[in-house]
A and B are shown apart, each in its own frame.
Chain A
Amino acid sequence: MIWNPDFETLPRPELAKLQGERLGRLVDVLYRRVPFYKGKMDQQGVKPQAIQGICDLGKLPFTTKDEMRDVYPYGLLAVSLQEIVEIHTSSGTTGKPVVDAYTRGDIETWAEVMARTLAAGGTTRHDIVQNAYGYGLFTGGLGVHYGARKIGATVIPISGGNTKRQLAILRDFKSTVLACTPSYSLFVAEAAREEGVDLRRVGLKAGFYGAEPWSESMRAEIESKSGALAIDIYGLTEIIGPGVATECEHQDGLHISEDHFYPEIIDPDTGKVLPDGEKGELVITTLTKEGTPLLRYRTRDITYLDRSPCTCGRTTVRMHRVLGRTDDMLIIRGVNVFPSQIEEVILRVDGVEPHYQLIVERRDQLDELEVQVEMNEKMFSDEIKGLEKVERKIESDLYAGLNIHTRVKLVEPKSIARSEGKARRIIDKRLL
């Protein structure tokens, strides 16, 4: 179902015209009200008048996550703080969090793009949406909430975790739509099986899964276990949260709400814009955002674009499901983590040297991170309990510091392969 045919099926020439107008207004506002962007544009020698249409986008500077952190917390506000009605941030595990400050208009946009998302998977006002994304600073919970409310569906704001309760609610309230991370949906399916509940008979018709990378084979498994359509959704806190892009019922790429979020694909090394179909880093410009609009934000997600018409009738560009990252960020059960952070934690443990390796696997549908740490004389003990204590200590420090569950394994010295003196840090065995 198409929630807003006026925009979602707009003929492409008209769409480009609209995007150009919106970009012009955005650049004008940013130049006048956000010193950060005025500085960047001046440095690049580009004045707002130079932006006459969407084709001029390439003249504008990129924005990076590091830059957003530099101006934390309010440096990107394009309106006065009085206009801001809600704030979300990233988890901040990698340093200062990035901030998304929403005006009343931004919340309305968010509800609109999330209504498009939920409708694209068949959600109507007759549905009961069990929203198992976390409510809070994380954008998943409230994003789905606003979208479902806009459609007029019934939202059950159960938030994440507490699988037994998720199951009871699913069964008793007969939820028809589930929203959570893809791995959690399989976790729920597994828990259901253990309790003797057949998830396929609960009456689910669609699930909206995002916030972590997943694959076609995982989709097949989710659909067979839940008996419901599994829709891939995409978004990020910096841009708006979920709602940036969604699959339609044909599940052939994610439609970007490009009247709001203009996508480009660039070569991450040179910054050169790449043609449709070529893989590169996704860059997004928030055409309509008021609170904290961004010019050419580098998402570090790798994908490619397809502007060919979709059988669903939408004219919007589609992005392929995210293929990877330009950095070494790992997403473990929905938590973003960089190897450098893991290194920082384990090196604080007495005696541990920087010889370690991270092995990511998906076991029983959940991501598992094994941290192999090379043994050395200082850590060694002739007693098993002494060695196990080292393992448990590293595990608990990683959980306390980064909120990730790991399995630490002590290995013999030099057993981690070194190439040119540098160890290969990550082995990702997940088939995504």
Chain B
Amino acid sequence: MSVQQISIFLENKKGRLAEVTRLLADRGINIRALSLADTADFGVLRIIVNDPTACLGALKASGIIAQVTDVLAVEMEDKPGGLSRVLAALDADDLNVEYMYAYVEKTRDNAIVIFKVDDRERARDVLKTNGIATLGAEALKAL
């Protein structure tokens, strides 16, 4: 299972993030999780939204550079050691995490973390073998 993340290119200038989020708000798009990576010049905003297709359409119509990136939504125990166990499993199989960020909502007593890894298919298998669940888009939406 993987989920679609929208990755957005933003120049590092005042007010830009506010403009983009306002644009999404106007289209009724809800941001469920986000991370912002930046350098001195530019940033990449990564978001998980309720409607990726509408989100991408709205951004592109406004001339914003954005793309869909497939990422893993990994469910883990919300207690000390939960994240560590996931990372240990990936590391043991030589999988590299490009970036990760927490999902806002919780399912039962578990937390969800979004992962971008270098080999998504293999990572999913490795996690599965270790008894760690990954959620699909529908499962996320249902939360």
Nearest CB in chain A: distance from B20 CB, A: 11
Q: Count CB-based A-B contacts (< 8 Å).
A: 55
Taken residue by residue from 175 to 218, chain A's Cβ proximity to chain B (1 for < 8 Å, 0 otherwise) reads as 00000000000000000000000000000000000000000000
Closest 3 CB pairs of A and B: A382-B7, A382-B69, A412-B11
Query: Would you call B67 and A382 a contact (CB within 8 A)?
Result: yes
Instruction: Give chain A interface residues in 409-424, CB to chain B under 8 Å.
Output: 409-415
Query: Would you call A380 and B65 a contact (CB within 8 A)?
Result: yes
Interface of chain A: mostly helix, strand, loop or mixed: loop
Which residues of chain A are near B80, meaning CB under 8 Å?
Answer: none
Which residues of chain A are near B38, meaning CB under 8 Å?
Answer: 384
Which residues of chain B are near A381, meaning CB under 8 Å?
Answer: 7, 44
Q: List 28 A-B contacts (CB under 8 A).
A: A375-B9, A375-B65, A376-B65, A377-B67, A380-B7, A380-B9, A380-B67, A381-B44, A382-B5, A383-B37, A383-B116, A384-B37, A384-B38, A384-B39, A387-B42, A391-B41, A409-B41, A409-B42, A410-B11, A411-B11, A412-B9, A412-B10, A412-B11, A412-B64, A412-B65, A413-B63, A413-B64, A415-B11
Instruction: Give chain A interface residues in 347-376, CB to chain B under 8 Å.
Output: 375-376
Chain A positions within 8 Å of B, measured between CB atoms, are 375-377, 380-384, 387-388, 391, 409-415
A380 to B45 alpha-carbon distance, docked (Å) = 12
Query: Would you call A414 and B42 a contact (CB within 8 A)?
Result: no
Size bracket, chain B contacts: 20 to 34
Measured CB to CB, the nearest residue on chain A to B45 is: A382
Measured CB to CB, the nearest residue on chain A to B39 is: A384
Does B98 lie at the interface of the complex (its beta carbon under 8 Å from any beta carbon of A)? Answer: yes
Which residues of chain A are near B116, meaning CB under 8 Å?
Answer: 382-383
Which residues of chain B are near A382, meaning CB under 8 Å?
Answer: 5, 7, 44, 46, 67, 69, 116
Instruction: Give chain B interface residues in 15-49, CB to chain A under 8 Å.
Output: 16, 37-39, 41-42, 44, 46
Query: Would you call A383 and B11 a contact (CB within 8 A)?
Result: no
Which residues of chain B are near A409, meaning CB under 8 Å?
Answer: 41-42
Nearest CB in chain A: distance from B139 CB, A: 22
A72 to B38 alpha-carbon distance, docked (Å) = 50
Measured CB to CB, the nearest residue on chain B to A382 is: B7
Nearest CB in chain B: distance from A407 CB, A: 9
Which residues of chain A are near B5, meaning CB under 8 Å?
Answer: 382
Contact partner of B65 (CB less than 8 A), chosen from A383, A391, A413, is A413
- Output the residue of B39, B41, B44 with the most chain A CB within 10 A: B41
Which residues of chain B are near A413, meaning CB under 8 Å?
Answer: 63-65
Nearest CB in chain B: distance from A389 CB, A: 12
Which residues of chain A are near B66, meaning CB under 8 Å?
Answer: 380
Nearest CB in chain A: distance from B73 CB, A: 16
Nearest CB in chain B: distance from A296 CB, A: 47
13 other A-B residue contacts (CB within 8 Å) besides A382-B7, A387-B44: A375-B9, A380-B9, A382-B44, A383-B37, A383-B44, A383-B98, A383-B99, A384-B38, A384-B44, A387-B9, A410-B9, A411-B41, A413-B65
Which residues of chain A are near B63, meaning CB under 8 Å?
Answer: 413-414
Measured CB to CB, the nearest residue on chain B to A384 is: B37
Taken residue by residue from 91 to 116, chain B's Cβ proximity to chain A (1 for < 8 Å, 0 otherwise) reads as 00000001100000000000000001
Taken residue by residue from 42 to 74, chain B's Cβ proximity to chain A (1 for < 8 Å, 0 otherwise) reads as 101010000000000000000111110100000
- Output the residue of B10, B39, B64, B67 with the most chain A CB within 10 A: B39
Measured CB to CB, the nearest residue on chain B to A391 is: B41
Which residues of chain A are near B65, meaning CB under 8 Å?
Answer: 375-377, 380, 412-413
Which residues of chain B are near A411, meaning CB under 8 Å?
Answer: 11, 41-42
- Output the residue of B5, B42, B98 with the most chain A CB within 10 A: B42
Which residues of chain B are near A410, meaning CB under 8 Å?
Answer: 9, 11, 41-42
Measured CB to CB, the nearest residue on chain A to B11 is: A412
A377 to B66 alpha-carbon distance, docked (Å) = 7
Measured CB to CB, the nearest residue on chain B to A408 is: B41
Which residues of chain A are near B67, meaning CB under 8 Å?
Answer: 377, 380, 382
Nearest CB in chain A: distance from B119 CB, A: 14
Which residues of chain A are near B69, meaning CB under 8 Å?
Answer: 382
A391 to B9 alpha-carbon distance, docked (Å) = 14
Which residues of chain B are near A415, meaning CB under 8 Å?
Answer: 11
Measured CB to CB, the nearest residue on chain B to A374 is: B65
Which residues of chain A are near B11, meaning CB under 8 Å?
Answer: 410-412, 415
A415 to B42 alpha-carbon distance, docked (Å) = 13
Which residues of chain B are near A376, meaning CB under 8 Å?
Answer: 65
Nearest CB in chain B: distance from A217 CB, A: 29
Nearest CB in chain B: distance from A324 CB, A: 30
Measured CB to CB, the nearest residue on chain B to A407 is: B41
